[in-house]
Amino acid sequence: MAAVMPAPAASRHLLSGNEAVARAVWEAGVKVAAAYPGTPSTEMLEEIATYPDLYAEWSVNEKVSLEVAIGAAYAGSRAFCCMKHVGMNVASDALMTLTLTGVSGGLVIAIADDVGLSSSQNEQDSRYWGRFAHVPVFEPADSQEAYAMTLDAFALSEQFQVPVILRMTTRINHVKSIVTVGERVPHTGAGFRKDPARYVMVPGNAGKRIPLMFQRDRDLRVVAENSPLNFIEPGSDRRVGFITTGPAYMHVKEAFPDAPVLKLGFSCPVPFEKCRELAALVDQVVVVEEVEPLLETELKAQGIAVIGKEILPLQGELSPAVLRPAIARLLGEALPESEATTALQLFPRPPTMCVACPHLGVYYTLSQVRNLNISGDIGCYTLGAGHPWQAMDTCVSMGASMGIALGMDKGRGESDKDKRVVAVIGDSTFLHMGMQGLLDMVYNKGNVTVLLLDNRAVGMTGGQDNPGNGRDIHGNDAPRIDFAKLVSALGVKDERIHVVNPYELPVLFKTIREEVKVPEVSVIITDQPCVLIKDYHKLKPYAVDEDKCTGCGNCIDVGCPAIHVTRRGKEVKASGREVDLAFVRIESSVCTGCGLCLQPCAPKAIEHYVPSAPIQFAKGGCQA
Amino acid sequence: MSATTNILVVGIGGQGVMTATEILAEAAIALGHDAKKTEVAGMAQRGGVVSSHLRFGERVLSPQITPGSADVLLGFESAEAMRWQHMLKKGGITLMNTARLVPPVVELGLFDYPDDPLAEIRKTGNKVVAFDATTIAQELGDIRLGNTVMLGAIADHLPFGAEVLLDCVLKRFARKGEKLVELNRRAFEAGRAAVGAAEAALA
């Protein structure tokens, strides 16, 4: 996308937290911004890339993105990096030493915690990184604060030559609220000043930086004590006072408008004196923080009497509906009346793969091959663990499919001695953290069949570009990695590398069946694009000839959401066995003609759709 | 709190629920309200459940609607309108599209889709108005007008005039030509009329 003319200052904009941070990054004069996509952080960099006069990149993983940002900050420019919570696990190797060198130009790292697990494998609390790495943490409570705190974070970062963490959560990143914005202030970089004692972290140099880091902690605590980001609202009902951070502040204000509140926007290092000030105002203090009892534990260690996770949940989002009864119980009051009725019972509606998704063919095939243990990975294809395929047995972290597959192979017990081990990984996840695992597998002579699903996009987060599709963040041409050559270079034998069209089920089936029998590392690369990106081309849609459909239901096992059951029945086979029948139709308005469902259709009842009148558009069907 | 209006828009990923809510938010802001919009969407692009919360008023704090406090529930799909009934306050109203989008877990025979979601909602005693937004859009010539039909449907159930919302809808199409603006105007009015007619029939 080309750079757009940024919106004028001061007017009121409806912005998500991600958009607000992006605006502030641009206004702060940032020169370099880097990230790897990850929900709920993705839109920050997507939005930043639309602004003029800065460099933005999709990096191959979060560690590289942080290192790119560090380099720019060493060079004296302002830099920004963002990631989802688990991304910092990957990037933390750099962070933990970055804290010793510090920065020259301001560096802000936005970490987006998926509190409530809308699209993540865990719910870890990123505020710990502030303590672990001895860097300050800011926690906005809405888009306006996300915007303002980003600007403040750059100023603090430069003042103390320290990276600053902006801790966000899904309820900040993805909530849209009103933001008043300003104008860009150009920032002139100081240039890189060689200083090995500071930038070359060998033991002799690093050891000398550690006391400086601790001194910085003490200095920052003084700043936090006096920061306008940390303020007390004295309230009028002094029975319970609250210490709170991030979006939890809004829930507290909504539920207890008259209560005294200490809001910590600059929450690490913790301003203990401010907390004592609040405690002195009230009968009891409740710490309201999402996920871990972090502040609570620190305050208790300081001898400040607070209540926290004794009465509030350790998991998931907080809300007024969670807070009101907890506080009523604490005060021995009657529980507040709710008008909420019990939810009606209904089927679940889990996310599904898209109509014609190239992964459908892969999982349909895997579900038909017996005796497999399938180590999976993170992306759209994680959905292969669900119905109808149930063809993924593990999912842990980015790239883990490789190492886990090798471990399953090497650690196989007697009961698994005839099992074949398969690893499934997407293109972007492979480039992110899977390559090293494959190298390890080859080097250590594993017996694993790797399915590398190359759909030319970071699918789950919205089809971002990556080195596998030959486009940069702006959609411009970029060098495109050749996966077959890459895995060959990692040591996989050329005769064990196959590039297969996942829509050709017989070829895919035969290739998988043969490769799992070979006791060494094989890589099967599927090469068709994600249906949601521009590389995908629709074909003529199909329809079911209802006179020919025998109700065998084979097509349903492909798992395409365009296939719908019209009626069910039962049939008694010659053997006397009763089988269920499901007669189907294809929602031709959403079918894009991939032809996967034709292949298992026994009676050949699926044919190209012939519109009788002008095309009838969908009455149902998922447009995903 | 009573000054805050809570609108819950629900459906499934890909239906345009989030965009519709955003347009409602723009209308509220145009009138000088504070507003917050948030989703429980997850991996919604993949056909999952989407519920989009819009709160507006003098000052909005928490972005989420507390169960039992939604003023209006706008349902893009029948079963989804049913799924979120517990969010409505007493006296709240459901405006729902009668479209049925059956998910793969039902096609696989693992779960049942309710025979009559509208009847299930009526059983709760909550007010509900149903209309076939999908057919209305088709009759106007394009299924994609369904979103505008849905926005027309809620237009007379907001604490401000329908024309404010219509303005915000049409602004989205202004750059795409007068023809599309006109089509959307008709879709909006058709949605309004459908709800009006259904309510008159109930009265």
Q: How far is CA A453 from each of CA A433, A499, A530, rounded to the nearest angstrom?
A: 15, 10, 10
- Determine, yes or no, domain membership for B110: no
Minimum-distance CB partner of A339 among B47, B68, B80: B68
Chain B contact present for A176, CB below 8 A: yes
pLDDT band at B109 (very low <50, low <70, confident <90, very high): very high
- Angle ∠(A516,A519,A523) on CA atoms, nearest 5: 55
Q: Which of residues 415-474 of A touch B (CB under 8 A)?
A: 460, 462
Q: Which of residues 346-365 of A touch B (CB under 8 A)?
A: 346-354
Q: Do A254 and B1 touch (CB under 8 A)?
A: yes
Contacts of A344 in chain B (CB under 8 A): 82-83, 85-86, 120-121, 124
CATH of the domain at B166: 3.40.920.10
Q: Which of residues 27-46 of A touch B (CB under 8 A)?
A: 39
pLDDT in tens, A131-172: 999 999 999 999 999 999 999 999 999 999 999 999 999 999
- Determine, yes or no, domain membership for B106: no
Q: Do B67 and A344 touch (CB under 8 A)?
A: no
Chain B contact present for A582, CB below 8 A: yes
Whether B190 shows a pLDDT value over 50: the answer reads yes
Q: Which of residues 136-155 of A touch B (CB under 8 A)?
A: 142
Q: Do A177 and B36 touch (CB under 8 A)?
A: yes
Q: Which of B115, B51, B6 is nearest to A343 (CA)?
A: B51
Q: Which of residues 204-223 of A touch B (CB under 8 A)?
A: none
Domain with B65 in it: 5-99+118-198
Q: Six-digit token pair at A568? A: 């069910």
Contacts of B34 in chain A (CB under 8 A): 177-178
| pLDDT at position A12 | 84
- Determine, yes or no, domain membership for B24: yes
Contacts of B106 in chain A (CB under 8 A): 347, 565
Minimum-distance CB partner of A618 among B113, B121, B143: B143
The residues facing B72 across adjacent strands are: B7, B93
| pLDDT at position A492 | 98
% of residues, chain A, pLDDT over 70: 96
Nearest CA in chain B to A349: B48
In this structure, the number of other CB atoms found within 10 A of the CB of residue A333 comes to 12
Q: What is the DSSP string of A156-182?
A: HHHHHT--EEEEEEHHHHT-EEEEE--
- Determine, yes or no, domain membership for B49: yes
CA pair distance B46, B35, nearest whole angstrom: 28
pLDDT band at A114 (very low <50, low <70, confident <90, very high): very high
| pLDDT at position A1 | 38
Whether B166 shows a pLDDT value over 50: the answer reads yes
Residue A318 near residue A312 (C-beta atoms within 8 A):
yes
| Residue B36 Cα, gap to closest chain A Cα (Å) | 5
pLDDT band at A190 (very low <50, low <70, confident <90, very high): confident
Residue B151 near residue B23 (C-beta atoms within 8 A):
yes
Q: Do A619 and B60 touch (CB under 8 A)?
A: no
CA pair distance A264, A181, nearest whole angstrom: 23
DSSP A386: S
Chain-centroid distance, C-alpha A92: 16
Chain B contact present for A251, CB below 8 A: yes
Nearest CA in chain A to B44: A351
- Determine, yes or no, domain membership for B145: yes
Probe site for chain A from B101, B121, B124, B135 (most A CB atoms < 10 A) = B101
Chain-centroid distance, C-alpha B174: 22
Cut 0.90: pTM above it: yes
The helix-helix angle for B162-173 and B146-154 (nearest 10°) equals 160
Q: Six-digit token pair at A558? A: 């492909």
Q: Do B82 and A142 touch (CB under 8 A)?
A: no
| pLDDT at position A59 | 98
Q: How far is CA A301 from each of CA A229, A297, A307, A340, rounded to the nearest angstrom?
A: 23, 6, 13, 39
Q: How many domains does chain B have?
A: 1
- Determine, yes or no, domain membership for B107: no
